[in-house]
């Protein structure tokens, strides 16, 4: 899943002013500035504010952060599990229960503007091969290796 305009989701805890964007300046107001109400692209703390917003929302749904990596979350419901990994504005979900998976997708879409990209087949230079009938998952960096060897 992809979070649209993710940096605009972060809340700001300080007063920040910026020069008005080009073509926004009103007549006779070239000395006015804008006070930011939310995080924006280019703000040095934008990614950190996005992480805190996402963390607050996802933990309110019962997910717990992984002790080793802050970008991995898990949720256990009896014998069912749901794993969530996020990288910048992409969210990857894995579950042994399709209903739990859809419930999580609905929750995310309710809280953020999202686009469901379907099953992941390629991420961070790694190709994902999945065979549901055999219950296997394979990872390959063949394309990356070939690219490196051509150098």
Task: Give me the DSSP letters along 27-95.
Answer: TT-TT-EEE-SB--TT-TTHHHHHHHHHHHHHHTTT-EE-SS-TTEEEEEETTEEEEEEEETTEEEEEE
How far lies 24's CA from each of 4, 18, 30, 122, 133, in Å?
24, 12, 10, 40, 56
pLDDT band, very low/low/confident/very high, at 34 (cuts 50, 70, 90): confident
pTM beyond cutoff 0.85: no
- The model's pLDDT over 63-77, given as tens digits with 9 standing for 90+, comes to 999 999 999 999 998
127 neighbors 141 (Cβ within 8 angstroms)? yes
Q: Is 79's pLDDT higher than 90?
A: yes
């Amino acid at each position: 899943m992809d979070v649209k305009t993710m940096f605009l989701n972060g809340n700001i805890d300080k007063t920040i002013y910026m020069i008005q964007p080009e073509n926004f300046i009103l007549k006779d107001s070239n000395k006015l500035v804008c006070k930011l109400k939310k995080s924006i692209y280019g703000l040095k703390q934008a990614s950190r504010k996005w992480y805190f917003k996402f963390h607050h929302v996802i933990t309110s749904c019962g997910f717990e952060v992984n002790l080793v990596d802050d970008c991995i979350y898990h949720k256990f419901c009896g014998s069912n599990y749901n794993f969530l990994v996020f990288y910048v504005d992409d969210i990857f979900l894995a579950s042994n229960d399709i209903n739990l998976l859809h419930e999580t997708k609905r929750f995310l879409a309710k809280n953020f503007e999202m686009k469901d990209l379907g099953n992941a087949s390629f991420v961070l230079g790694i190709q994902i091969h999945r065979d549901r009938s055999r219950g296997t998952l394979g990872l390959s960096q063949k394309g990356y290796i070939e690219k490196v060897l051509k150098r």
